[in-house]
Amino acid sequence: MGINNKLEQIKNLLLEKSSCKQKAFRSTKEVLVSIKKSASQIAQKLHAEVAIIDPHVEIKFYEVTEYEMHLKFSGDTLVFMMHTNIFDFPKDHYIHQTNYVKENHLRQFCGVIHIYNFLSDTIKYNREGDIGYLVGRIFVNLDTHFFVEGNHPLSMLYPNFAEALFKEDCADNIISEAMHFCMNFDLMAPPIDTMSYISLEQKNYMSHSSGIPTGKMLGFRNQMDSNEDHNN
């Protein structure tokens, strides 16, 4: 194959695949902007209603960077982080079986927004040894069609990639479901056997960071590859 033919193929790939990925990136960024707006409004509404009864219960929205936001609600914080790259999926993933993707394979490329649950004190005291747990992730394509992987309530909100178009109420639903899920998983005291001794280094770290390295047991099993849960 001559150099001109190879360059022609490269040009076509740039105009097709690379252009498509750029559109998916912009669509995902628009979704994150919508989520930020919704999170800010939810925080304001809940704060106004809760503060009347108990002003010590803190509910705040933070825009950390262009690609990251936090929603703190008392002892829990939801962290939304957008990845700046675009992803494809394994060939056996359910979206490849949908007519929507079969009609145009470029629809399979998606940006992703991860949703993590951290203890609020983890972020407040910068306890770098603490663990945040993945609650869900939102995949968005160039047409702003999307689906959500996550713990059961989240994964069932928008199971049909072909029909789910991200709108303002989608952000409200995802945030409220994620908050509700996190608040139903409380921090458990570790078994005493695991806390029977500490090193001086650990003691100094605990004094500096205001606590023992801590995390809640969350996370989800990926069920999105199951064709049983999704419609073409």
Residue with tokens 């979704």: 31
Q: Which of 4-13, 127-136, 180-189 has the highest mean pLDDT?
A: 127-136
Residue 225 has pLDDT above 80, yes or no: no
Residue 222 predicted with pLDDT over 50: no
| Residue 230 banded pLDDT, cuts 50, 70, 90 | very low
Among 2-16, 53-67, 71-85, 110-124, name the one with the lowest average pLDDT: 2-16
Query: Which residues contact residue 158 at a Cβ distance below 8 angstroms, ignoring those fewer than 6 apart?
Result: 146, 147, 148, 164, 170
Q: How confident is the model at residue 173 (pLDDT cuts 50, 70, 90)?
A: very high
Alpha helices in the chain (DSSP H): 3-13, 19-51, 99-103, 120-124, 152-155, 168-183, 200-209
DSSP 110-166: BEEEEEEEEEHHHHHTT-TT---EEEEEEEE-TTSBEEEEESHHHHTTS--TTT-B-
Number of other CB atoms surrounding residue 156 within 10 Å:
13
> d(Cα 232, Cα 101) in Å, to the nearest integer?
9
Question: What amino acid is encoded at 70 in this protein?
Answer: H
What global pTM score does this model have?
0.82
What distances in angstroms separate CA 226 from CA 6, 99, 110, one per listed residue? 39, 16, 19
pLDDT at 202 over 80: no
In the predicted structure, residue 46 carries a pLDDT above the cut 90: yes
The residues, ordered by sequence, that sit 6+ positions from 2 with a Cβ below 8 Å of its Cβ are: none
pLDDT band at 59 (very low <50, low <70, confident <90, very high): very high
pLDDT score of 78 more than 90 = yes
Crossing angle of helices 168-183 and 19-51, in 10° steps, is 60
What six digits make up the tokens of 133? 């747990």
Count of C-beta atoms within a 10 Å radius of residue 223 = 17
